[in-house]
Structure 1
Amino acid sequence: MSGPFGATSTTDEVLAGVDLSGKRILVTGASAGLGVETARVLAARGANVVGAARDLAKAERATQEVRDQAANGGSLELVALDLADLASVRACADALLADGRPFDVIIANAGVMATPLGRTADGFETQFGTNHLGHFVLVNRLAPLLKPGSRVVALSSSGHRFSDVNLEDPNFETTAYTPFGAYGRSKTANALFAVEFDRRHKDRGVRAAAVHPGGIHTELGRHMTAEDTARLIEEINEANRRSGGPAFEFKTIPQGAATSVWAAIVAPADAVGGRYCEDCHVAEIIDGDEMTRGGVRPYAVDPDNARALWAKSEELVQERF
């Protein structure tokens, strides 16, 4: 589906005229970039935003504009969450469950990209463990707080095209590690999580969607050198030239966060549920050059792949949902 919004739409344009008074929304990664912008626009429209961040001091400094622009009863509270440590994830979820107030939306925004080979506190490969497994446990534990009409938005990426998930070796114990290969696995996992979560919860009126925010200059790229970035953009542009597509352009942060709030608030639930979205529309399924711009690869929205990943994820975190 398409609509009045597109690649250059901003968060304020997408939510123009929308009143979120009384809505409670969780945003992970609320200490920089897209997370701060997402929290800002939601609180400015009256939402009570719960911002989760690993470094609360940093988040306090980064979110002053969120508080300054909060209106119509909008607010921000911060909670501690380290997605690379399941003890922290479970403590965060337990505290929110004990609080008992329901959520209208959860936006799983936080993540890392193209990191050197590393391990989370629980021994998982850093990107898969942080981007996927941390959110897998958090969102599933918070599912009882999602009332009918609620939505979950999982931030995926066009980087899912670098790799399907590898359920035989999710932690790169036997296969060669590459930073973008691992990133691709984790972003495919984010998309597949939305597919299966949506399947499991849509009968009670809770929907889930995955979104690609676009290419944006944020802290997410801290592990990439200027040469890495230039090389990646040239590879994308070469693929675009072959396909007749436009040259790559970075989005602003308000443009990058627009698809998240579009999928969470504005788009019809039945249109985006279980789907992968980009540029404020549902993406076309395209099986082709990994670097071509636009679209989602079939494996990232395949229901069987999603169910298999869910089962493997439960096995890895030793928790069933």
Structure 2
Amino acid sequence: MPTITYNPDSMPDLSGKVILITGGTGGLGAESALRLAQKSPAHIYISGRKAANADKVIQQIRKAGSKTPVTFLPCDLASLVSVKQAAESFLALESRLDILMCNAGIMATPPGLTADGYEIQFGTNHLGHALLIRKLLPLLETSAEAADVRIILLTSLGFKMHPSGGIVFDAVRTKQEFSAFGGWIRYGQSKLANLLYARELARRYPAMTSVSVTPGVVNTGLVENLGRFNRAFVWITNLGQLLKPEEGAYNQLWASTVAKATLQNGQFYEPVGVLSTKLDKASQDAALAKRLWEWTEEALQAYL
């Protein structure tokens, strides 16, 4: 087990801040909500698909002694209609947003399509989050005029498993059925998109701090819900490296709350707070990041 020295108790007071966590109803998102609630933010919103799971998280937060208001925001990232509705519901409730933690995601799933016809991992991990960010950008920009606004996108060192060229734009409206490791190739493509989108957000909106982070390899439901072959692949290739769920949340907590001057806008961080040097050509390709942004804008146009 790797040694983690970060202590989330070191996070500063978050009074007045409004926080939105996608996938906040389980796993790392729930752990993040639990930890952040201890620092007295004005409000935490947790998005997900199941209200029952949200209720459990809220009960845990109350049991831990926090009185921070916590609201469930129904959202299915695999449906752009659902994401649009979630964003509009949030905008109707709040006049500011300080921390947007894009935590939710799926990993190495079988071939499939979203409700909108996109490859399921790319559509969920990238497009769903991109629409949420775009819908909330005006509020984020307004909030940044007088506050330290953060957008945290979860990625993974698994981005390196992306297909040749990084993102196969001509094929993301198919199931992209590759080899036996196709689920991982599609996953890598989606996680590369998260990393590149954070870079482009930082370039286009420098008043806000946008970074991508990897939680490390964490023993959460994402791993446990994999098929036997893929679960074995994770265990064998990461012997001695799996983190506990509470440790897996540390990097996103750090990025959400550390002093602004500590962060380099648009960069990718490994646990905890380590500026990554494990980048490949595609992850540093400014032209690819720009193309991703423009492609995404066109794909989302009907929902903006």
The match for 2:172 is: 170
- Residue of structure 2 in register with 1:212 after alignment: 214
**Cα–Cα, structure 1 residues 75 and 274, in superposed 2: closer, same or farther, change >3 Å?**
same
- Specify the alignment match of 2:63 in structure 1: 68
Q: Is the contact between residue 87 and residue 135 of structure 2 (CA under 8 Å) also seen in structure 1?
A: yes
Helix, strand or coil for the counterpart of 1:79?
Answer: strand
User: 8 Å contact 2:113–2:120 — kept in the other structure?
Assistant: yes
Overall identity of the aligned pairs, in %: 33
Show CA shifts across 1:68-125 (max 9, x none).
Answer: 2253x52211111110111110011111122242111100000111111111111111
Q: Which residue of 2 aligns with 1:152?
A: 151
Alignment deviations for residues 210-268 of structure 1 (CA, whole Å, 9 cap, x no partner): 0000111111124423443333443x36xxxxxxxxx6411111211110011111153
Q: Write the letter of the residue equivalent to 2:204.
A: R
Residue 181 (structure 1) aligned with residue 180 (structure 2): no
Cα distance in 2, alignment partners of residues 175 and 85 from structure 1: 21
Return the alpha-carbon distance in structure 2 between the equivalents of residues 306 and 226 of structure 1: 34
Greater shift after overlay, 54-63 or 150-159? 54-63
Aligned residue identity for 1:216: V
Pairs within 5 Å for 1:115-126: 115-126=109-120
For residue 161 of structure 1, what is the aligned residue in structure 2?
160
Distance in 2 (CA, whole Å) between partners of 1:257 and 1:123 is: 31
AA at the equivalent of 1:305: L
* Structure 1 unmatched runs, 5+: 1-5, 238-246, 286-294
Aligned match of 1:112: 106
Partner of 1:252: 244
Q: Distance in 2 between matches of 1:232 and 1:18?
A: 34
- Superposition deviation, residue 176 in structure 1: 2.7
Change in Cα spacing, 1:227 to 1:49, as seen in structure 2 (3 Å) is same
Partner of 1:244 in structure 2?
A: none
2:195 counterpart residue number: 191
Q: Which amino acid aligns with 1:32?
A: G
**1:157 Cα deviation after fit:** 0.6
Which amino acid letter does the alignment assign opposite residue 201 of structure 1? Y
**Counterparts of 1:258 and 1:281, CA distance in 2:** 9
- Residue in 2 that maps onto 1:24: 18
Are residues 1:296 and 2:279 paired? yes
Counterpart residue number, 2:253: 261
Match of 1:3 in 2: none
- SS for the counterpart of 2:76 is coil
Alpha-carbon deviation of 1:317? 2.4
Local SS of the residue matching 2:210 = strand
C-alpha RMSD of matched pairs (Å): 2.2
1:197 partner letter: L
2:124 aligned counterpart, secondary structure: helix
CA shift, 1:320, in A, is 8.7
Aligned residues: 292
C-alpha separation between the residues in 1 aligned to 2:241 and 2:270? 14
Seen in structure 2, the aligned counterparts of structure 1 residues 46 and 174 have a Cα distance that, compared at 3 Å, is closer
Is contact 1:275–1:301 with CA below 8 Å preserved after alignment? no
Query: CA offsets, 1:279-310, max 9 Å, x none?
Result: 1224333xxxxxxxxx2323224322111111
2 CA distance for matches of 1:282 and 1:49?
Answer: 26
Q: Indicate conservation of the 8 Å contact 2:77/2:124, yes or no.
A: yes
Change over 3 Å in CA distance of 1:284–1:141 after alignment to 2: same
Q: Contact 2:109 / 2:183 at 8 angstroms: preserved in 1?
A: yes
Number of the residue aligned with 1:229: 231
What is residue 306 of structure 1 aligned with on the other side? 289
What residue is the counterpart of 2:39 in the other structure? 45
Provide the rounded CA distance (Å) in 2 between the counterparts of 1:27 and 1:118: 25
- 1:95 paired residue number: 89
Partner of 1:289: none
Q: Structure 1 residues 229 and 59, CA, compared in 2 at 3 Å: closer, same or farther?
A: same
* Residues 255, 211 of structure 1: alpha-carbon distance in 2 compared, 3 angstrom cutoff: same
Q: Distance in 2 between matches of 1:194 and 1:227?
A: 31
- State the shift of 1:198 in Å: 1.1
CA distance in 2, matches of 1:159, 1:45: 32
